[in-house]
Structure 1
Amino acid sequence: MAVAATIDNTYGMLYVAVVVSTALYGVGATQFWLYIRKYHVKDTLLIKCLVIAILVCDTCQQILLIHSVYKYLVAGISDPAILPSVVNTLMVELFFSCAIATMVQQFYCWRIYKIGQNIFLALAVSAVSWTSCVVLLIYAARAVQFKQLSQLTTLQTLSIASNTLSAAADVTVSVVLVFLLQGSKTGFKRSTDLINRLMIFTFNTGLPTSIAALAATICVAAFPNTFLYIFFFLLLGRFYTNSILVTLNSREYIKSTSDPASQEHYSLENTGRPRPPQAGTFNGGQGDAITIRIETDTMHDFHSSTQDLKS
């Protein structure tokens, strides 16, 4: 049985979406400030342009969202005819959301290529992201032409397809990165522990966007007459922005924990007399002192993937 549209589950959800989205935008702005402080000199021009482009799109989307809610909930008091109509800024912001999602997903696809050195795997994941982008652009281009909000239900299939593909791209990116990191384990405890932390971090950064996209898909299918799906969809842009900024800002922290683990030292030495075995030391029995250093470059490759971007 379809859920009837009410003030609470339509304009009420739109208002709540603005409040939550504004809070997340503030978090993203803080992350951007931290990025400027730490990495604006270290990163390549392409990375800095990517970050700025994402923040500009995020800001434009937030402004358009606030304007649309103002039109509905403030201007609508004196002109109730606005309530059932489509405020174009609510539809135009979809283009900026699409741009943010695509840029962030393509960045992660590039990381897949840098870590796995498999161009076909990276292109396959990239294709899913671009397909989601095209479907969302078609949805936005048609929705901006509507006059009444009730007409949006005719685009239910496109909305489901776009959110499903977006969730599929996010899940695929996380799974592929985790799989590649799993295959990079050397068998040494310190490096293995570090890779495990990187795997958890990779999974967690993709989790909010995947959940929001899946929730939007479920809501548009189950409650098409409400704005429940719009609530989750409007948060996607903020989640993507925070995802990439947190990823970039965490490099120094993760690298600092990886420095002690970047090398494993084993000593094979003989002093001429027996000595008790020590942790990390193997007694060779004869010969001069020998030190074997095993380099683990996986961590360097993972972190340099955001620093050595090549056009």
Structure 2
Amino acid sequence: MAVVAREVASTIDNTYGLLYIAVVVSTALYGAGILQFWMYIRKYHAKDPLIVKSLVIAVIICDTCQQSLLCHAVYEYLVASIANPAILPSVVNTLMIELFFSCAIATLVQQFYCWRIYKIGKSIILAGAVSLVSWSACVTLLVYSAKAVQLKAFSEVINLKKLSVAANTMSAVTDIIISAVLVVILHTAKTGFKRSTDLVNRLMVFTFNTGLPTSVCALVASICVAAFSETFLYIFFFLLLGRLYTNSILVTLNSREYIKSSSESASQEQYSLENSGVRARVPQMPTASRDAITIRIDTNTMHDNDLKSAH
């Protein structure tokens, strides 16, 4: 009896226990995202173009919907099941419906970064290729979500194991490709001057760090699906992806003031996120618009600024 009790406890810990922990961690990340959203509203909402504001609001709405559906599912499993234990082995629809919102968040954020690739690299072919990979991951996840929402029992989820691994792997690959492409493009923008190089290095590190959490989380989810498919360990990491994507895009947008101030203190160069350029600050001249989605290094201006400072 003692052995059986330990096995039951272990099963609960590996399934509904992990689902509960996922809600707790996800809620904390959701709160961080709302804080970032509030900071965005204060600093950039009035300045950014409509498409950027719409993107941010769409992501926040999807994030809120996913978090609400997740909380409802956990309530059903851990509270409502006390009066109706038959709920435990069944699939609560809200747990699967939230997958569609997770897919929407990931695709919106990835397409945002694809736009950055286009604005920085000025290559529609390169940006289009990365965007195509993102949409492929989106379609794969949509197919998985459509099949998962039809399931009646958790025992049937194992039938979608290969599709789940494919969806998470493609999402991770997309994030890795986006980060790698942005880092390479920024690296090629280096001018050879110390101040400009330091500036680009800062951007490269920032780009790498914003893409790392989602890539690692998706990869770990894929590994857990393959190795621990009988538990909810993969669900734990998968449920965090939406929050991580939301925080990623908001941190990217809110970091503009930090990057601008850092560049000004180092070399008096100013980032313009509207026209994707870096220009020297000219005294007594109106400040250029700083609203944008991407940061492009204007190497010619950097050369000019460094040459002037050398005289």
Tell me which interval the TM-score lies in, with the shorter structure as reference length.
Answer: 0.7 to 0.9
Q: Does structure 1 residue 67 correspond to structure 2 residue 72?
A: yes
CA contact (8 A) 2:48 2:291 kept: no
Residue of structure 1 in register with 2:250 after alignment: 245
How far the C-alpha of 1:259 sits from its partner, in A, is 2.4
| % identical equivalent positions | 70
Residue of structure 2 in register with 1:272 after alignment: none
Q: Does structure 1 residue 16 correspond to structure 2 residue 21?
A: yes
State the Cα deviation string for residues 42-97 of structure 1 (Å, max 9, x = none): 10000000000000000000000000000000011111100000000000000000
Residue of structure 2 in register with 1:294 after alignment: none
Residue of structure 2 in register with 1:216 after alignment: 221
How far the C-alpha of 1:258 sits from its partner, in A, is 1.4
Q: CA RMSD in A?
A: 1.8
CA contact (8 A) 1:43 1:307 kept: no
Residue of structure 1 in register with 2:193 after alignment: 188
Amino acid at match of 1:257: S
CA contact (8 A) 1:102 1:133 kept: yes
Alignment partners' CA distance in 2, 1:95 and 1:82: 22
CA contact (8 A) 2:116 2:294 kept: no
CA contact (8 A) 1:101 1:240 kept: yes
Alignment partners' CA distance in 2, 1:64 and 1:121: 36
Alignment partners' CA distance in 2, 1:227 and 1:249: 34
CA contact (8 A) 2:59 2:108 kept: yes
Structure 1 39/298 Cα, relative in aligned 2: closer, same or farther at 3 Å?
closer
- For residue 118 of structure 2, give the secondary structure of its aligned residue in structure 1: helix
Structure 1 209/137 Cα, relative in aligned 2: closer, same or farther at 3 Å?
same
Q: Does structure 1 residue 306 correspond to structure 2 residue 293?
A: yes
Amino acid at match of 1:144: V
Unaligned segments of structure 1, at least 5 residues:
265-296
Alignment partners' CA distance in 2, 1:123 and 1:231: 32
Unaligned segments of structure 2, at least 5 residues:
1-6, 270-275, 280-289, 296-311
Higher relative contact order (CA 8 A, sep 6+): 1
Structure 1 307/180 Cα, relative in aligned 2: closer, same or farther at 3 Å?
closer
Residue of structure 2 in register with 1:121 after alignment: 126
Match of 1:97 among 93, 96, 102: 102
Alignment partners' CA distance in 2, 1:194 and 1:299: 11
Larger Rg: 1
Residue of structure 1 in register with 2:60 after alignment: 55
- For residue 225 of structure 1, give the secondary structure of its aligned residue in structure 2: coil
Match of 2:212 among 207, 216, 225: 207
Residue of structure 1 in register with 2:308 after alignment: none
The count of corresponding residues between Structure 1 and Structure 2 is 272
CA contact (8 A) 1:50 1:103 kept: yes
More helix by share: 2
Alignment partners' CA distance in 2, 1:130 and 1:28: 24
Match of 1:161 among 166, 183, 198: 166
Q: Does structure 1 residue 143 correspond to structure 2 residue 148?
A: yes
Match of 1:34 among 36, 39, 45: 39
Alignment partners' CA distance in 2, 1:128 and 1:44: 27
State the Cα deviation string for residues 241-269 of structure 1 (Å, max 9, x = none): 000000000001101111245569xxxxx
CA contact (8 A) 2:62 2:104 kept: yes
Alignment partners' CA distance in 1, 2:70 and 2:189: 43
How far the C-alpha of 1:299 sits from its partner, in A, is 3.9
Residue of structure 1 in register with 2:284 after alignment: none
Amino acid at match of 2:187: Q
Q: Does structure 1 residue 171 correspond to structure 2 residue 158?
A: no
How far the C-alpha of 1:125 sits from its partner, in A, is 0.7
How far the C-alpha of 1:305 sits from its partner, in A, is 4.7
Alignment partners' CA distance in 1, 2:74 and 2:133: 32
Residue of structure 1 in register with 2:139 after alignment: 134
* TM-score (norm: length of structure 2): 0.84
State the Cα deviation string for residues 203-231 of structure 1 (Å, max 9, x = none): 00000000100000000000111100000
